[in-house]
Structure 1
Amino acid sequence: MSGSQPTHGYFRPMPRRQLLAAGIAGLVVISLPRRALSRPSLEEAIRIFTGGAEVLDGRVRLELPPLVENGNAVGVTVTAESPMTATDHVRRIGVFNEKNPEANVAVFHLGPRSGRAQVSTRIRLATSQTVVAVAEMSDGSFWSSRASAIVTLAACIEDLT
């Protein structure tokens, strides 16, 4: 093994070029604007989902308990008014939140063969907040519903100290 760098156990020293490249990559991440590293607001997340299209109230019902004892598993059901035919159906349903680390909770893709425009899931809620469901219809329109929940035991918390 002449001419090679000595090894210490299973670890091998990192060559200077790799170390320099890793340092430069770290500087690039550190120098990104704070906005690029931050979470989008509830409104921004919905705007991304809709492509900036107008969102109307109605045709969507969001069921969320108003008082949540434990934010780790909150039952959510979204129902959209649609006959679910080939010409008139729900394409997508998006669920968004106001204060969790990620604004996007879930996106469900539907079609005429779904039978009903209804989805149910369990989500985590970091704290008391508003949750929004937005449905995209086959005609390109977007409809929404909002619900607020008071959370007594929060989820999504990294450090409790």
Structure 2
Amino acid sequence: MQHTFDTIFPNVQRRQILASATALASFAGLGLIPGLVQAAGNETAFNAKTLGEAIKALGGTPVESKELVITSPDIAENGAVVPVTVQSNLPKTQEIYILVEKNPNPLSAVFVIPEGTEASVQTRVKMSQSTNVHALVKAGGKFYTTVKETKVTLGGCGG
């Protein structure tokens, strides 16, 4: 009996496999797969209970920078979905971290910035209470930070 693609994979169309392979190649090209792998490598930082522990686990001693812009609402009605945008104007930005100071686990997000791309990220974070949101950026092997206070009227981390 001669085996063909259709007899081996009767419920899978060639187009589905090609689309999946193309998506995987795109993710790899955008640097998203290495970012996922790196996020897994930051387990100690994600499990940290304080802001200081998280920053120490990431390996940096940050300095304040006016080249970073963090945007979040002054008052968030719902702490479960607080929009945060970070823009880095620092050359050679490699990584952007978002930390929420009074959360049970302050490190909320890690973004790996591929070389030659605009260093701007946008996401939503959970906030358990009113607190400072920190942007920590690794650029040229050094760490930089900026802070924005956000007040929360309804907590999003089980509160």
TM-score of the pair, normalised by structure 2: 0.65
Q: 1:78 to 1:122 in 2, by over 3 A?
A: same
Report if aligned partners of 1:59, 1:144 keep a CA contact under 8 Å in 2.
no
The residue number in structure 2 matching 1:22 is none
Letter in 1 for 2:57: I
Separation in 2, partners of 1:58, 1:48: 24
Report what 2:40 is aligned to: none
Residue correspondences, number:
113
- What root-mean-square deviation, in Å, do the aligned CA atoms of Structure 1 and Structure 2 show? 1.8
- Partners of 1:131 and 1:41 in 2: CA distance: 13
CA distance change for structure 1 residues 117 and 39 in 2, over 3 Å: closer, same or farther? closer
- Structure 1: any 5+ residue segments left out of the alignment? 1-37, 83-87
Identity between Structure 1 and Structure 2 (%): 32
TM-score, length-scaled by structure 1: 0.64
Given the alignment of the two structures, is residue 80 of structure 1 paired with residue 88 of structure 2, yes or no? Answer: yes
Matches within 5 A, 1:146-157: 146-157=147-158
| Runs of 4 or more consecutive aligned structure 1 residues displaced over 2 Å after TM superposition | 52-58
Deviation at 1:58, TM superposition (A): 2.4
Gap runs ≥5 in structure 2? 1-46
- The answer to whether residue 109 in structure 2 is matched with residue 111 in structure 1 is no
Alpha-carbon distance in 2 for matches of 1:79, 1:48: 23
Larger-Rg structure: 1
Give the structure with the larger helix fraction. Answer: 2
Are 2:96 and 2:136, in contact at CA under 8 Å, matched by a contact in 1?
yes
Distance 2:144 2:48 in 1: 24
1:97 aligned residue:
100
Shift of residue 148, structure 1, vs aligned partner? 0.7
Structure-2 separation of matches of 1:67 and 1:54:
26
